[in-house]
């Protein structure tokens, strides 16, 4: 069964009376070429956690190469469909649940033991940032995260300092991984066709974080604060977010080697780590 064929997708819809739910981001991929690129980008991985199988098109492509694929789907209506489309595979397990609520650490441990796994997903766009943030901040045992995201999100995550795309999510990803764009994916390759183009983003997890900060949570708070009001200077953003007087905050920044009138988007991850490490001394006083 060629699950990338729009005709096959329509036949399955008719067989099960299935209608796409926009609210669940149900835009199904119809390109074998893109599926191959996603699977190839996982290199020598053997175990994959998939998010959102839909009719199972990426799930099947993964299962052809992997030892085991565990796939989390929120929409109950798809469970019967997936039994039909993926019934011939004995290395796929479908788990019904919301990826934002499931205990992913326990799921990975129960299904894959002590091994590291990779995540593959064609994510609904409205949950892209929360899912990526969760996968990274929870420090799950992952090798790679390969996700289809809105083109603009892929550009934001791979952006350089001082560009308009550079933001908190860029730095969060840089802290934990090496990001790259695997391929662009035009909207025409999905049914139903979304309004925006996509890209496959690969996040290769680093063996240790890119910079060392004394308090990781504080570093992320500093980064979020710096981008909370893009038109304001770093000094003003920091004063709004932390209970520190302006002259003291100015000193913290200057001692970290940062001119207080700079804007958050001009700072590198390293510079944010210096600010965070200087701030911690004052907060602890």
Residue ranges binding ligand SAM (CB under 6 A)? 24-29, 51-54, 57-58, 72-75, 78, 98-100, 122, 124, 127
Task: Provide, rounded to whole angstroms, the least separation between the CB of residue 25 and ligand SAM.
Answer: 5
Task: Provide, rounded to whole angstroms, the least separation between the CB of residue 48 and ligand SAM.
Answer: 12
Residue 154 or residue 252: which is nearer to ligand SAM going by CB?
154
Residue 28 or residue 175: which is nearer to ligand SAM going by CB?
28
Number of helices (H), then strands (E), in the chain: 12, 9
Residue 99 or residue 199: which is nearer to ligand SAM going by CB?
99
Task: Provide, rounded to whole angstroms, the least separation between the CB of residue 124 and ligand SAM.
Answer: 4
DSSP string covering 207-263, please? Answer: SS-SS--S-HHHHHHHHHHHTTSTTS-HHHHHHHHSS--HHHHHHHHHHTT--TTS-
Residue 152 or residue 215: which is nearer to ligand SAM going by CB?
152
CA distance 231 to 94: 46
Q: Which of 203, 193, 270 is nearest to 30 (CA)?
A: 193
Helical packing angle, 77-86 and 57-65, nearest 10°? 40
**Do residues 259 and 201 lie in contact, with contact meaning Cβ atoms separated by under 8 Å?**
no
Residue 60 or residue 211: which is nearer to ligand SAM going by CB?
60
Residue 74 or residue 223: which is nearer to ligand SAM going by CB?
74
The residue behind tokens 């981001």 is 25
Task: Provide, rounded to whole angstroms, the least separation between the CB of residue 70 and ligand SAM.
Answer: 12
Q: What is the distance, to the nearest Å, from the Cα of residue 13 to the centroid of all Cα atoms in its chain?
A: 29
Task: Provide, rounded to whole angstroms, the least separation between the CB of residue 57 and ligand SAM.
Answer: 5
Task: Provide, rounded to whole angstroms, the least separation between the CB of residue 120 and ligand SAM.
Answer: 9
CA distance 142 to 47: 10
Residue nearest to ligand SAM (CB): 52
**Do residues 86 and 63 lie in contact, with contact meaning Cβ atoms separated by under 8 Å?**
yes
């Amino acid at each position: 069964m060629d699950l990338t064929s729009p005709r096959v997708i329509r036949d399955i819809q008719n067989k099960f009376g299935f209608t796409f739910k926009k609210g669940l981001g149900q835009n199904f991929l119809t390109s074998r070429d893109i599926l191959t690129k996603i699977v190839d980008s996982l290199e020598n991985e053997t175990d994959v956690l998939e998010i959102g199988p839909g009719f199972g098109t990426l799930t099947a492509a993964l299962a052809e190469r992997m030892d085991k694929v565990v796939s989390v789907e929120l929409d109950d209506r798809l469970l019967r469909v997936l039994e039909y489309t993926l019934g011939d595979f004995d290395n796929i397990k479908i788990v019904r649940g919301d990826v934002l609520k499931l205990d992913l650490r326990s799921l990975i441990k129960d299904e894959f033991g002590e091994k590291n796994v990779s995540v593959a997903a064609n994510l609904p766009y409205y949950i892209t940032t929360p899912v990526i943030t969760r996968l990274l901040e929870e420090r799950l045992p992952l090798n790679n995260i390969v996700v289809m995201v809105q083109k603009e999100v892929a550009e934001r995550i791979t952006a350089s300092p001082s560009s308009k795309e550079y933001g908190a999510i860029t730095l969060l990803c840089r802290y934990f991984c090496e990001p790259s764009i695997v391929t662009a994916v035009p909207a025409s390759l999905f049914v139903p066709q979304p309004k925006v183009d996509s890209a496959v983003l690969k996040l290769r997890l680093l063996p240790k974080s890119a910079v060392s900060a004394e308090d990781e949570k504080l570093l992320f708070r500093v980064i979020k604060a710096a981008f909370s009001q893009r038109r304001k200077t770093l000094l003003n953003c920091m004063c709004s977010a932390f209970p520190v007087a302006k002259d003291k905050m100015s000193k913290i920044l200057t001692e970290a080697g940062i001119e207080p009138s700079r804007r958050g988007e001009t700072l590198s991850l390293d510079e944010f780590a210096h600010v965070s490490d200087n701030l911690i001394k004052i907060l602890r006083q």
